[in-house]
């Protein structure tokens, strides 16, 4: 037995050393490598260099290069509406251009903020639905460090990128007169919420798909091994604290995939409660009410202010946008926003 004790002691020491080592790795990963974890802009391979363009999908577009306030060049695609979408019949005479600009000024403008993987070119099929089916102007934004944009991604930097895109729309002679709708998937939803909270009078509506309460609150489910170190996450994207600051008159459409394997559905449900509370629609429940009962009830509900929660039972994190009824729900929401009134604000 005595000869066996050193082996046990050695095992315990080794286990302790391993645990300490893993803790060190976990702390180091969150402190110094979390941007790499949160913003995998090079995945899938080729995403930094191979960026599809709208012309490949038969869409007219302008390749924009915007310079941010901290002097970073980001790339965007602008799809401006035309009265006649058939390029064969689209002449370049001044009369036709004036008619197109007038038509575009009465259509909503959707600013698209994509998820944390891939690049904006991978989302062109989604932009095509907004452009051809709903006749929206579309501005697709490539965050810094993504696709062909300069710089490295971070919460601070992406917030600047989003503001730069909005400032461009607001200052554009045609787009500045339109209703502005933010469309964000996953982390793009957090970008949308943050931007709307900082520009309450500029945004007409938000469309959010499979987004989260905050990144620190997402760590335990997304990276269970790093759960004890979630407090070290300096990339916050704290949507839970910002939703209440968005005016009640700004309707929010929430699109939730019930089988989301990345962002637990509870995040969307909690955000929905905040949306309702912001509009004075919070429901009173007894203390004995169960959370699972709330989940069963929240399938497709609306508030009097025009916000809506739409559940897609088979939707996962990346395929909710192809679920049956998804685009019909989005189209109904956009159509319900009406047309833009005359605007004097710059």
Distance CA 143, CA 302 (A): 32
| Cβ atoms of 276 and 332 closer than 8 Å | no
Q: Which of 47, 256, 260, 267 is catalytic?
A: 260
Answer yes or no: 186 catalytic: yes
Q: What SS3 state is found at 91?
A: coil
Residue 63 sits at the vertex; the CA angle it makes with 62 and 68, to the nearest 5 degrees, is 120
Is 256 tagged catalytic?
no
Q: Where are the alpha helices (DSSP H) in the chain?
A: 5-32, 34-38, 94-105, 124-128, 155-171, 187-198, 215-222, 239-242, 265-278, 291-297, 326-335
> Does the active-site annotation cover 3?
no
Q: Which residue is catalytic, options 90, 122, 234, 317? A: 317
Element housing 109 (H / E): strand 109-113
HSE, side-chain direction, 13 A CA sphere, residue 218: 29
Q: Is the Cα torsion angle 120, 211, 250, 245 positive or negative in sign? A: negative
Q: Per the residue annotation, which of 105, 186, 197, 256 is the catalytic one?
A: 186
By annotation, the residues acting in catalysis are 186, 260, 317
């Amino acid at each position: 037995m005595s000869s066996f004790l050193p082996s046990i002691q050695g095992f315990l020491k080794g286990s302790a050393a391993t645990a300490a080592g893993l803790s060190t790795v976990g702390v180091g990963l969150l402190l110094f490598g979390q941007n790499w974890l949160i913003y995998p802009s090079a995945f899938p391979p080729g995403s930094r260099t191979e960026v599809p363009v709208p012309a490949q999908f038969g869409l007219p577009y302008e390749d924009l290069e915007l310079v941010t306030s901290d002097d970073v060049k980001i790339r965007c695609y602008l799809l401006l509406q035309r009265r006649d979408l058939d390029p064969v019949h689209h002449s370049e005479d001044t009369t036709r251009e004036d008619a197109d600009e007038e038509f575009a000024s009465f259509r909503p403008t959707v600013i698209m903020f994509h998820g944390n993987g891939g690049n904006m070119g991978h989302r062109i099929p989604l932009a095509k639905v907004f452009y051809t089916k709903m006749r929206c102007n579309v501005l697709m934004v490539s965050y810094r460090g993504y696709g062909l944009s300069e710089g490295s991604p971070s919460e601070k930097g992406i917030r600047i990128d989003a503001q730069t895109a909005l400032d461009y729309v607001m200052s554009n002679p045609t787009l500045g007169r339109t209703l502005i709708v933010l469309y964000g998937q996953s982390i793009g939803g957090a970008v949308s919420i943050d931007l709307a909270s900082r520009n309450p009078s500029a945004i007409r509506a938000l469309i959010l798909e499979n987004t989260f309460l905050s990144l620190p609150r997402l760590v335990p489910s997304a990276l269970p091994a790093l759960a004890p170190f979630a407090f070290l996450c300096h990339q916050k994207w704290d949507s839970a604290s910002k939703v209440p600051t968005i005016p009640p008159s700004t309707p929010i459409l929430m699109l939730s995939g019930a089988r989301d394997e990345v962002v637990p559905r509870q995040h969307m449900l909690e955000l929905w409660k905040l949306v309702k509370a912001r509009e004075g629609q919070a429901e009173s429940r007894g203390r004995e009410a169960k959370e699972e009962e709330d989940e069963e009830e929240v399938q497709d509900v609306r508030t009097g202010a025009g916000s809506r929660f739409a559940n897609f039972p088979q939707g996962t994190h990346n395929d909710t946008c192809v679920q049956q009824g998804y685009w019909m729900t989005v189209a109904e929401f956009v159509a319900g926003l009406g047309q833009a009134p005359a605007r004097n604000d710059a």
